[in-house]
């Protein structure tokens, strides 16, 4: 699978990234104690509260962390590697699991994978295989065979250090759902739930947002709202201008031509700081000794929304962490107060109208304010993620489209 990185947060274990098209999972290297506690598969209770009468189809797809093979899991949690695809995409084996009817639940087994749990309403998803592996649905492609299907997915990793399960809007905002995990003591941590009326409220607000943001909304020929593309896809497909955040970026650039932006990218190392100043066509960052450690060109909307190009974030200990923090700050329009850090609170976000309005509106509709609306939305712990080192059960609840 093709992956976008998200930030590596401080965990009690050493972390590595295993990435997917909708973002990345944080995968922890197993400790001896945790490895003994986490079974090869855990129950996943999937509840259908959608109010939709159509059949739901469920898919558990991912990469085996033991073998590196891509494949799918059946309802019992047995892993099946994909067959080899051809140069021309060929149909993948039917990996669908019949999901619960509205008002009902089923329990599956989640094996130790890094991947996704897809669900679709009314029709099965069309997956294809090539020599490079599985072809994921491309919501930004109007010719994708899944374009007229209402579907969504959650992301998860289960390994010897526990389970990470998150909702995601990195690629699109669509059929709503919430995620949860039961801890060893029986308590349940949940996230990803919209406020009452939040689904329609999001689409109404996005359509009314000046600047072309309503062009991100996609509907079926019968008028059914299918999704809103993430703005990075909107820029790529031309429905959103690549200059849509220019005014805000120019404000940031002007401010730090005469003052300093302080970036503290590590929540567990608050003393590590870098200092940004614009000179010419670059924002240069120095360390405490005054040594220049990295520089950034002025970003366009594509760079901001996708956290790449002028905001590329390699998996290192200097440029990557600074870039992730900058990217989050540009999306949240929170860089004008002079500092940016890994401990940024949601109260510091979206105070200026020039940032990522798609992300702002998603966070505003969440019960707990948490979402994964862009690749580095976990900077400042604002992401919709549940984790437990000793999980007893995972939950995905399909919520109403109201």
Please enumerate, as own/partner, the contacts of 311-314 that have beta carbons within 8 Å and a separation of 24 or more: 313/5, 313/7, 313/376
C-alpha distance from residue 293 to each of 7, 87, 250, 296 (Å): 19, 43, 23, 11
Q: Which of 155, 300, 377, 383 is catalytic?
A: 155
Cα–Cα dist 377/390, whole Å: 25
- Does the annotation count 155 as an active-site position? yes
Other CB atoms within 10 Å distance of the CB of residue 319:
18
What DSSP element (H or E) covers 254? helix 246-255
Helix axes 198-207 and 357-365, enclosed angle (nearest 10): 160
Q: Check if the beta carbon of residue 304 is closer than 8 Å to that of residue 317.
A: no
The strands making up 105-111's β-sheet, listed across from edge to edge, are 105-111, 41-48, 393-398, 177-182, 188-191
Q: Which of 144, 171, 316, 378 is catalytic?
A: 171
- Does the annotation count 383 as an active-site position? no
- Give φ, ψ of 239 to 5 degrees: -85, -10
Catalytic positions are 155, 171
């Amino acid at each position: 699978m093709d992956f976008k990185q998200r930030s590596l947060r401080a965990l009690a274990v050493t972390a590595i990234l295993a990435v997917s098209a909708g973002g990345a999972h944080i995968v922890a290297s197993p400790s001896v104690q945790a490895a003994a506690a986490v079974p090869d598969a855990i129950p996943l209770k999937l509840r259908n509260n959608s109010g939709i009468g159509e059949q739901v189809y469920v898919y558990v797809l991912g990469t085996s962390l033991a073998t590196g093979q891509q494949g799918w899991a059946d309802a019992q949690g047995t892993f099946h590697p994909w067959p080899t695809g051809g140069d021309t995409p060929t149909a993948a084996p039917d990996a669908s699991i019949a999901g619960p009817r509205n008002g009902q639940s089923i329990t599956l087994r989640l094996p130790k994978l890094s991947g996704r749990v897809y669900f679709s309403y009314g029709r099965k998803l069309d997956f294809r295989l090539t020599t490079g592996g599985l072809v994921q649905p491309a919501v930004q492609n109007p010719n994708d065979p899944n374009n007229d299907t209402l579907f969504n997915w959650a992301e998860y990793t289960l390994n010897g250090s526990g389970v990470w399960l998150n909702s995601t809007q990195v690629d699109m905002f669509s059929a709503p759902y919430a995620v949860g995990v039961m801890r060893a003591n029986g308590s349940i941590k949940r996230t990803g739930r919209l406020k009452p009326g939040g689904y329609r409220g999001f689409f109404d607000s996005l359509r009314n947002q000046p600047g072309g943001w309503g062009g991100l909304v996609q509907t079926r020929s019968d008028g059914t709202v299918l999704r809103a593309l993430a703005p990075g896809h909107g820029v790529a497909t031309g429905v959103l201008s690549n200059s849509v955040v220019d005014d805000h970026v120019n404000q940031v650039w002007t401010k730090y031509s005469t003052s300093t932006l302080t970036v503290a990218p590590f929540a567990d190392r608050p003393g590590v700081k870098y200092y940004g100043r614009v000179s010419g066509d670059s924002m240069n960052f120095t360390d405490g000794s005054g040594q220049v450690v990295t520089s950034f060109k002025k970003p366009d909307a594509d760079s901001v929304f996708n956290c790449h190009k002028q905001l590329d974030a390699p998996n290192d200990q200097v440029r990557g962490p600074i870039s992730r923090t900058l990217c989050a700050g540009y999306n949240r329009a929170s860089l004008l107060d002079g500092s940016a850090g890994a401990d940024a609170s949601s109260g510091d976000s979206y105070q200026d109208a020039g940032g990522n309005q798609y992300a702002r509106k998603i966070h505003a509709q969440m019960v707990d304010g948490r979402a994964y609306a862009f690749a580095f939305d976990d900077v400042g712990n604002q992401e919709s993620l549940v984790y437990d080192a000793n999980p007893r059960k995972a939950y995905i609840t399909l919520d109403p489209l109201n």
